[in-house]
A and B are shown apart, each in its own frame.
Chain A
Amino acid sequence: MPEPIVRFFHTSMQFPGVLANDDVSLDIYPGEVFALVGENGAGKSTLMNILYGLNKPTGGTVTVKGQPIRSFSPSEAIRRGIGMVHQHFMLVPSFTVAQNIVLGDEPRRGIFYDKARANQIVEELVAEFGLKVNAHDRVQDISVGLQQRVEILKTLRRGADILILDEPTAVLTPQETDELFEVIRRIVSEKSMTVIIITHKLYEVMAISDRVGVMRQGKLVGVCNTKDVNERILSSMMVGKDVLLDALERIDDHDSTIAIQVEDLHVSDNRGLPAVRGISLQVERGEVLGIAGIEGNGQSELIEAITGLRRRDSGRVLIQGTDTAGMNPGQIRALGLAHVPEDRLSTGVSAQADITDNLVVGKESRKPFSSLGLHLHKKAMKAYAREVFERYDIRAAGIDTAVGSLSGGNMQKVVVAREFSFDTPVLIISQPTRGVDIGAMDFIHQQIMAKRNASCAILLVSADLDELYRLSDRLVTIYEGRLTGEFRPDKIGKQEISHYMTGGGREEERHAQ
């Protein structure tokens, strides 16, 4: 065995209230691709943020190339040849590609920024590593895949030989993922770099890594050679038990009344650009229609337009047979619609308000919460909140805890509890389990299925294919604001459907025509 290039030695990271890394000891060797896997909140990103100097560990040491790190800062990490591509890109949107690549260490002429030299640097990098980008483009105008390249080039420019990639494939299409893996293999073999990749997609671990470390609740629970393990072993290590979720019980007596009907809908995004380009769909009572797609292909705008949160350019939306043209979200909800939004923190709750207020809102003018629709009965509100709190197993100090201080899973339970208890026949659900631990995920899935079995019409948007397969009766794929196919989940594989999610299906149709 050669000397490790990175060595974590009894490293711990204590945040107020959370032990994010618990006594982690890990060696990483030069020239390997090391995968770090674990559930959300297992401490993978925290550990890598320590290596990159963004967190200062509260215990233990970190050694890079034989030298222990004394002062933790990104500039120190960069000096030691560490580069990191974060899950959320660290790019300034209004700057050009070149400006972003040289940011923080700009070429200068006198005291001035040397634009020509910057462009030249980018061209040299492109030539050396074969990662094609255009130096003059603004970052806000290029695709996510290209943005990731800019990030990688940025680290390479600073002379990194240890590259950390945090969830690099979460936002990529399958083709872009393949390209990324190609790049990783090349820089490892040709430039003898070391790559650490954080992910929770186990098939990617199997495809790209030499060794894999599994984290659970802040602890490193195991390190294996990838060729000695399989996905099943890894996933049980990740959660500490067998994770295969039981199939959900479906009761099929749906009455085939159409509850959601969307006709040729066109919607623009915040910048005024077309996001939804002529979508038509319908959902019957007692079925779950899943929308599968890479994020940013118009799903958010579609949902916002259906629920009245966003202006429609053209097209019709009928809820329970009523045309919702010109209605505000409140009027649309009154037709019998409830909505679990994709972004719970900014849309789904008031973070400053307590659990009681977040559970009651929307029902406050009903009895027993108020009389005459005006005078509030706080006792009744609290009693109701306490009951829901128990029923949905929300874990918090009490019903007067501010919702903003809850964990993702518990916050989501508050949203689901509120929306589901409207007892509406139509449910619009976006990303119901994003950032939620597996226990809460299973609970929320069961709630959704119970609603379906009680003949609700459910429109489900998710970035998680497993979730869509588990819950949906029908699946449609969305790509660049258009629907590209409709399937029965039991008739199509995940590989094939991701082909349609990236526009593949449409091209074949075109060829067929």
Chain B
Amino acid sequence: MRSERWKYILSLTVSIALGLLIGALIMAATGHDPLDGYSALLRGAFGSKRSWGNTLYKTFQLCITGLATAVASIAGIFNVGGEGQMYLGAIASSYLGARLAGLSPWIALPVCFLAAILSGALYAWIPAVLKVKLKINEVITTILMNSIAIYLCSYLANGPLKTTERGINSGTDAIGKALRFNRLIPGSNLSETVFYIAAISLLVWYLMSRTTTGYRMRLTGQNERFSRFIGLRADLLGIGGMLISGAMCGALGMFECFALQSRFKTDFSSEFYFDGMLVAMIMRYKPLGIILMSFFFGALKMGATTMQSSTKISSELILIIQSVIIFLMAAEEGFLRRVQEHRVRRQTVQKEG
């Protein structure tokens, strides 16, 4: 097991290196100097206090979305629908955040938070039940439900829940000032929410790695039949994983709106969930690995934004690099097996000869 872990770390390192190399080749192929590109990226990630703040903000965001993917996957359901769950959490909490503006934050904030996690969890519950009870593929349902949620929220934010404030053509009423989270570094996106995200992440890590519930979820995700056989409620554990996952996404939706936007806006997220999902896939849903590698990918992601503005290289490059890393990691096991078989064959042939 220990040597397995080292082998995994080695192939991860090689895959990341190859991914960055391919990124460099793409830059060169599109007429840009890769060194310029990557140095702009580094500057963008760590060049100033502000960029440090943004990198950390992205780190925590990847952390919570990555763990959200991981929790559901560990329990056996591939949640591709975090984006939709996040939208519902965002709009529900923002709506309440505006309505409850007059109340004390000590009451209003927990209510908003509860609304966020409940609506996220509820929206994750639907595909989870369809998967567990009717065996309907969750990848298809969750991705379609993303579109549904985004259309629904944009309808609400432009229709029934649209603010009456002047000069705002889309979005809900403003969230009460006292309820908003403060920024920690002026000009950057880093806000007080990181403490909450850190707490949630630690809690989830503890749940998945150190409790009987996490242990049961893991065994259920590995072999659902075995889980039922041994007397566990495989159906409830699978749904439970999705509920936690959806709740985390809902919470992030609230954090984004309450810290960075003054209201729910339909464009508050640029597919944030998928960024974290990619990290989780690269780290093969290992909670600790996700927490640790979020920083690396957070830096890549934030650096890329600066790279885009200073070198005209589109930040989508990072998504390309990440998906290449996933391809390499996914092929790794099969590739190594082939190499090993080949080696065995050659050795015996040499022995004979």
Contacts and interface: CB of A to CB of B under 8 A. Distances in A.
B149 to A, nearest CB: 33
B210 interface: yes
Contact of B229 (A339, A400, A402): A339
Nearest to A369: B212
A16 B337 CA distance: 9
B233 A349 contact: no
B212, B215, B230, B341 — which one has the most chain A CB atoms within 10 A of its CB? B230
Interface in A322-366: 328-334, 339, 341, 346-354, 357, 361-362, 364-365
Nearest to A381: B215
Interface in B196-213: 210-213
B348 A351 contact: no
Given A330-B233, A373-B212, A375-B210, A353 B222 contact: yes
A12 B348 contact: yes
Interface string A441-459: 0000000000000000000
B263 interface: no
B222 A350 contact: yes
A401 interface: yes
B223 A59 contact: no
B216 A351 contact: no
Given A332-B231, A401-B1, 5 more contacts: A350-B223, A353-B218, A362-B231, A364-B212, A376-B210
A486 to B, nearest CB: 29
A374 B219 contact: no
Contacts of A350: 219, 222-223, 226-227
A89 interface: no
Given A14-B344, A14-B348, A376-B212, A400 B1 contact: yes
Given A58-B349, A59-B352, A329-B228, A365 B223 contact: no
Contacts of A59: 348-349, 351-352
A364 B344 contact: no
B219 A376 contact: no
The 10 tightest CB contacts between A and B, nearest first, are A330-B231, A58-B348, A400-B1, A350-B222, A333-B231, A350-B223, A352-B222, A364-B212, A329-B231, A14-B348
Nearest to B341: A16
A370 B348 contact: no
Contacts of A329: 228-231
B344 A16 contact: yes
B345 interface: yes
B12 interface: no
Contacts of B232: 330
Contacts of A349: 223, 226
A421 to B, nearest CB: 13
B345 A58 contact: yes
Interface string A386-416: 0000000000001011100000000000000
A113 interface: no
Contact of A376 (B215, B230, B233, B344): B215
B228 A370 contact: no
Contacts of A346: 223, 225-226
A440 interface: no
12 contacts: A328-B233, A329-B228, A329-B231, A330-B231, A339-B229, A348-B226, A349-B226, A350-B222, A352-B223, A357-B215, A374-B212, A375-B212
Contacts of A16: 340-341, 344
A347 B225 contact: yes
Contacts of A400: 1-2
Interface string B214-244: 0110110011011111111100000000000
A72 B215 CA distance: 46
Contact of B215 (A331, A347, A351, A364): A364
Contacts, number: 92
Interface of A: 12, 14-16, 56, 58-59, 307, 309, 328-334, 339, 341, 346-354, 357, 361-362, 364-365, 370, 373-376, 378, 398, 400-402
A349 B223 CA distance: 8
Interface size class of B (residues with CB under 8 A): 20 to 34
Nearest to B343: A16
Contacts of B213: 374
B239 to A, nearest CB: 15
A471 B231 CA distance: 27
A352 B220 CA distance: 11
A365 B212 contact: yes
Contacts of B228: 309, 328-329
B281 to A, nearest CB: 17
A361 B223 contact: no
A348 B225 CA distance: 9
Interface in B311-353: 340-341, 344-345, 348-349, 351-352
B284 to A, nearest CB: 11
A376 B211 contact: yes
A505 B213 CA distance: 51
A218 B341 CA distance: 19
Contacts of B348: 12, 14, 58-59
Contacts of B211: 370, 374-376
Contacts of A15: 344
Nearest to B231: A330
A14, A15, A56 — which one has the most chain B CB atoms within 10 A of its CB? A14
Contacts of B226: 346-350
Contacts of A376: 210-212, 215
Nearest to B337: A16
A333 B230 CA distance: 8
A401 B345 CA distance: 26
A375 B232 CA distance: 18
A351 B223 contact: yes
Contacts of A348: 226, 229
Contacts of B231: 328-334, 362
Nearest to B1: A400
Contacts of A354: 1
B13 to A, nearest CB: 23
B186 to A, nearest CB: 41
Interface string B124-154: 0000000000000000000000000000000
A206 B161 CA distance: 86
A331 B233 CA distance: 10
B50 to A, nearest CB: 41
Contacts of A357: 215, 218-219
A373 B211 CA distance: 8
B75 to A, nearest CB: 13
Nearest to B213: A374
Contacts of A56: 345
Contacts of B212: 364-365, 370, 373-376
Contacts of B233: 328, 330
